[in-house]
Structure 1
Amino acid sequence: EAVPDGTCPTAQQLGDLIDVACTMIKTFLLAALRDDTLIPTLSKKYHAPYARLLEQLEARGEEAFFSEVLTRDVMLKHGAVLSETNDALVDVQTIPHSDPVAAAQVTVLGIPMKRFHEFFTPELVETLEDAGLHVKSQPNSVCIVRSGVDKATFVRWMCLHGHRYSATGAPFSLRHAIAFGDNPAVVDRPLTIFPDMAFVSLAPDRTKDPEGSHIIHVGNEEVGCANFLRQMIDHTPTVPTNSEPVSPATERSWWEGFADDNGNVSVDKVRQLAATADIGATPTGAVPATKAAA
């Protein structure tokens, strides 16, 4: 299996993780009240919401603020603080329909990678690692998962079991897949190690991209991702509706815009799409905003 001991934290681990995550949010806000250089290190989506929180924290005091305003329930509620993106400060990513409730990971939003070690000290990280958990620093957040789980876990699982869910029984092929990530140097790196799978880098800094002919740089994080997907859709023939059976001919037609003569993803065609897209512009059309830079 992709992860022999399972992919989800245990119930005990999950409870402890939520406690740690809520404590980190409190610690960060108290530090930001004393250090006005902290908030600017985060993505702009955090600036206004965090400024409002700091105003209330300063006005009401620590005890009243955390017991009446930014309670544990508020930290866990999507949209309560980060209303524009409907994110939760402590995002417990549960498995749909799981009984009892299981979670794949816990993400602490609003902890900048540049200041990660000030809050997740080496001692705390070691304690979590010893408990069978892995801590991953991302540009604007910290993700905590079961040890052995990374961005490529699903890819490895598909390589092992994808044929079970194929209409034709054919094995899953990396040559029919494209991966995306805005942090290829760290958390998204596992997705870059498959030379047969194209990887679209959304990293703002091209120098962070690993070497490899399958790496295509787009950059600009969420905006770059949305514009690239729009460009891909615009260059793709009509996509079949869900009610239509997907015949080999239809599938080949769908891939035509970015596949080679053998039906595999053409890195050269994907690279051409990246080069022709107005990656820095605000996306238009029906492509939803992504959470690539959480």
Structure 2
Amino acid sequence: MGFVTNSAILPVLVGEGGIILSDKLNHRSIIYGCSASGATVRIFEHNSMFSTIHLTISFGRTEEVLREEIAKGQPGTHKPWKKIIVVLEGIYSMEGELCKLPEIITVCKKYKAYTYLDEAHSIGVVGKTGRGVCEVLGVDTADVDVMMGSFTKSFGSCGGYIVGSKELIEYLKYTCPAHLYGTTISPPTAQQILSAIKVILGEDGSSRCMLNKFWLCTGAQKLTQIRENNNFFRPKLQKIGFKVLGDNDSTVIPIMIYNPGKIPAFSRECLRQNLSTICFYAV
């Protein structure tokens, strides 16, 4: 699954003598991976890229943190860092916000740092052809060093994946414990992933049924429908008084309840209205 992918890959990519710069709101799997890596970990303010002269926040912006750590070097010895990786998510699962990927890449190129992009919540659902935030934000995928994703969401299967250069993938094949000691994806699981990709690309030739009326729906049309539904639903919620987080085009639409005691009642009423929701209490 995607959780294991992040937890197992990050310790292989960077270790002692390296540094990971992680967004403040990154997923727990990334936090575990960073912790297990043995690398120095610095947190930067969520979706804040460039440095400013006066900061009133507890976490620095990406460029400020990056420049400061490069200047200081490794703890104790002050030697140059062996490797610097900036880790972020395509769509943040709890906030529904798209990452500021073009700005992050600008900073990483300036300071020669690697970029690690988690697309678990964006691949297969955003972009004209479902290719994720790079397609939405007009970013060349060649500018992203490591792209991670999950097969458990848009593809309805299980497992996770890593995309990168041929050299990177060959290195991971021989060094990643999750690959070396894990079992092979079963044929039905692999076929489910391939079938989902064909649907997204509009290559399956099937039709979709809605309200007992059959109509041909290509992958592109389905993606357009998802985007239009999201961008219709979000402002309607805001209009009736809900506090809604996230960006347009995002498939994650967080609604803030604020009163923990109301969460069970809200969940039950949504279920009664045949509305699928995920409710939780966050501290």
Q: Same fold (TM over 0.5)?
A: no
Name the TM-score, length of structure 1 as normaliser: 0.26
Name the TM-score, length of structure 2 as normaliser: 0.27
